[in-house]
A and B are shown apart, each in its own frame.
Chain A
Amino acid sequence: MSDRAGTGTTPLAVEHEDRPELRHHFADVVQQRNAASLGMWWFLGTEIMFFGGMFCGYLVYRRAYFPEFAAGSKSLSLIAGTVNTAVLICSSLTVALAVRASQLGKRKLLVNLLLATMFFGVCFLGIKGYEWHDEYVHHHVPTFYFNAHDLVTDNPNLHLDPQRTKIFYSLYFALTGVHALHMIVGLGIFSVITFMAWRGRFSPEYHTPIEIAGLYWHFVDIVWIYLFPLLYLIDRRPGA
């Protein structure tokens, strides 16, 4: 049963001398790696609940204020959203390939793939920043001279309530803002592990930080995979 502590096959002292990255309270590296992996998966579980709270709020208000949410959604740039989704998918590819490179001990490839991942992450943030700036210019950012009357006049038949559109934008900025924060933290983590990789700290025997950083990155990608339809595609039917 893989849950059992340690493998109990390698004498403790020898294993610890052999493997400097093995911390003293673990019996062997397999146990250490399994602990790190389970720890990261649980952490991702907590993140699902963290974002989940906002999804709950989104769900309640979307049901209540569908016309305003649809109008708000249409005001977002479909191109930017789609491109950003693709950008994150590319970054997930590079990070999966990076984990593979570390498993095969290919240091240069590993470093390049980690840099590529970060590059895509920065692209995503850049496009997001451009979108936010655009929304700021159009007075769609709550608090900063918010004014959604353009939406009301653009959709005269819907008789939109501007307060309710503000709720859409509040949730939009909360969701994408918290997501972006997670991306930034991810970039910080990746900077550190890229540096470590460049210094040759990883090998086929030890590359746990790459694996678990990769798990985190994929999770941030998956959150966006859901945010894209929920925020950008509420009602894109022509003529709606």
Chain B
Amino acid sequence: MATAAVSTERKNYLNAEYGIRSWLLTTDHKRIALLYLLSITFFFFVGGFFALLIRLELLTPAGDLMTADMYNKAFTMHGQIMVFFFLIPSIPAVLGNFLIPMMIGAKDLAFPRINLLSWYIYIAAGALYLYCLATGGVDTGWTFYTPYSSLFSNTHVVEAGLSIFIVGFSSILTGLNFVVTVHRMRAPGMTWSRLPLFVWSHYATSIIMLLGTPVIAITLLLVVLERTLNLGIFDPSRGGDPVLFQHLFWFYSHPAVYIMILPSMAVISEIVPCFSRKRVFGYTFVAASSIAIAAIGFLVWAHHMFVAGISLYSALVFSFLSFLVAVPSAVKVFNWTATMYKGSISFSTPMLYAFGFIGLFTIGGLTGLFLATLGVDVHVHDTYFVIAHFHYVMVGGAVMGYLGGMHFWWPKISGRMYPEGWGRLAAMIVFIGFNLTFFPQFVVGYLGMPRRYWQYPPEFQVYNVLSTAGASILAVGYLLPMVYLLWSLRYGKPAPDNPWQATGLEWKTPSPPPTFNFEETPVVTWEAYEYETMPLPDEVTLER
């Protein structure tokens, strides 16, 4: 198998069957992963378009590009699309779906038809959201706060709410599939302590999906009922309680941010040992920290409500618990760093994204502690400081992890190598663009610029201009992989089975893998990350 067979010659999951029906009715987890890849990429660009509108408006202090109402719609839909239709599905639905069965030595997930159903549900929800968008959009802020959303807003709250209600079930079914798969489908010898950390992290993510998503589902349903039936359960003038909505909303939406970051951490846990040629430092602690993040993440939700009118005593409790949740995340960062210590580091594209992740996630995470501090939060709540914080973790963290993972597993998914030079260039452009976009936002937020305002005092303009400039650089950084990854499908070097000489069962399959992954069920007798026994990757592969 010296020169890897070009994908058209050998049967694999891509050429096993042709025709649109074979894709739309597939139950192959790898094909479903690609269906998701196309869908979430589409929504990423729709959400990105709204980001563009926001940043263009904010170039000048005056509200001169669009009306205030239009601006409200722009930031609402940017947030909802990015959170619900991009970030939450992204890594689990694309990389998780593709890799988890292979990583545990299984032929498919436990419930392949439910996997396909979850994609259909996602598409149906996406279509409803696009309909909402096309007929005028929604302007409540991504958080749907009542009573504005339940009573006063004149926009398409019902459609948006129902669409997110529906997409929640896509998430729940994905989580269900992963949990049952990891429990019941592991190959002989694949014990829990030999599982790749990617699987541990996705398992923790799935627990959150299962226990948290139903709550936002019922909450949005109640808002829809309130709006259509004029109930009054969230209307203060009729005895209703808007803070109750916030409790129910954030009970899910805080753990949701861990749904968004844990899979990214999963990717980093695979990339770092590979490009350090060392096993992960403290495997048990990293695995346990995933579970700890999932568990403690459910106990902190009211830190979004410190100034909403909750009691001081409960605010103290939630503030304390929020400090606690930072600990397992820090454990991961320390362990990745310790993994790299005295390792043999290569600055490949995935590793560049991993470096970016570790640095930017640390900044984002630490600023989260600022926000968990009650006194500071009173000052910076609802300012750009908060926006910078969550973009550091969501974009600097989650999206970088996603891109790193896409590059790392691209050879396996497509059977092609991407051009390494362009990969590194794009990674650096993303890093520079990202920091230029969001670092000024920490400063201007701390100085007092409120979020969700379409005009601002002139003294804040320089920060906004820097931020918009950064955003345009970031956009280039995101477009580049679109171009060269597509290019590589046709012109990229055919990929060997294991271009990175990485550990993990997925690398023991051909690139791209056959439909049923393994000819024979593997029997595992080795620990995860046994890099000391692996040869070094081909210099040619790394320096392409």
The answer to whether B233 and A57 touch across the interface, beta carbons within 8 angstroms, is yes
A53 and B248 alpha carbons, distance in the complex (Å):
7
Within B222-253, the residues touching A (CB, 8 Å) are: 222, 225, 229-233, 238-241, 244, 247-248, 251
Q: Does B188 contact A (CB under 8 A)?
A: yes
Known A-B contacts A42-B210, A143-B231; A34 and B184 likewise in contact (beta carbons under 8 Å): yes
Question: Contacts A5-B185, A52-B215, A142-B229 given: A60-B244 contact, CB under 8 Å?
Answer: yes
Q: Is the CB of A166 within 8 A of B238?
A: yes
Of the candidates A51, A53, A65, A164, which one forms a contact with B219 in the assembled complex, judged by CB atoms under 8 Å apart?
A: A53
Instruction: Give Cα A5 to B103, complex, Å.
Output: 14
Q: How many A-B residue pairs have CB under 8 A?
A: 130
Residues of chain A lying within 8 A (CB to CB) of residue B497: none
Compute how far the CA of A25 lies from the CA of B112 in the bound complex, rounded to whole angstroms. Answer: 9
Whether B406 is near chain A, meaning CB under 8 Å from some CB there, is no
Q: Is there contact, CB below 8 Å, between A53 and B180?
A: no
> What is the CB-to-nearest-CB distance from B439 to chain A, in angstroms, rounded to a whole number?
38
Q: Which residues in A have their C-beta under 8 angstroms from that of B422?
A: none
Known A39-B111, A46-B214, A166-B231; judge A3-B222 contact (CB<8 A): no
A130 within 8 A of B: no
Q: How far is the CA of A103 from the CA of B104 in the complex (A)?
A: 33
Chain B residues in 8 Å Cβ range of A57: 222, 233, 244, 248
**In the docked arrangement, what's the CA distance between A47 and B187, Å?**
30
User: Which residue numbers of B lie inside 8 Å of A, CB to CB?
Assistant: 104-112, 172, 176, 179-180, 183-188, 190, 210-215, 217-219, 221-222, 225, 229-233, 238-241, 244, 247-248, 251, 516, 521
Q: How far is the CA of A45 from the CA of B231 in the complex (A)?
A: 28
Chain A residues, Cβ within 8 Å of B108: 24-25
Q: Which of A175-196 contact B (CB under 8 A)?
A: 178
Q: How many residues of A contact B (CB 8 A)?
A: 44
Pick the residue among A43, A51, A52 that contacts B176 (CB under 8 A).
Answer: A43
| B residues in contact with A170, CB < 8 Å | 225, 229, 231-233
Instruction: Return the chain B residue nearest A169 by Cβ.
Output: B231
| Chain A 13-29 interface mask (CB, 8 Å, partner B; 1/0) | 00000000001111100
Q: In this assembly, does A6 line the interface, its C-beta being within 8 Å of a C-beta of chain B?
A: yes
Q: Which residue of A lies closest to B219 (CB)?
A: A53
Contact A47 B180 (CB under 8 A): no
Flag if B187 contacts A50 (CB, 8 Å). no
Instruction: Determine the chain A residues whose CB is within 8 A of the CB of B233 once the complex forms.
Output: 57, 61, 167, 170-171
- Of A8, A12, A60, A167, which is in contact with the most chain B CB atoms at under 10 Å from its CB? A167
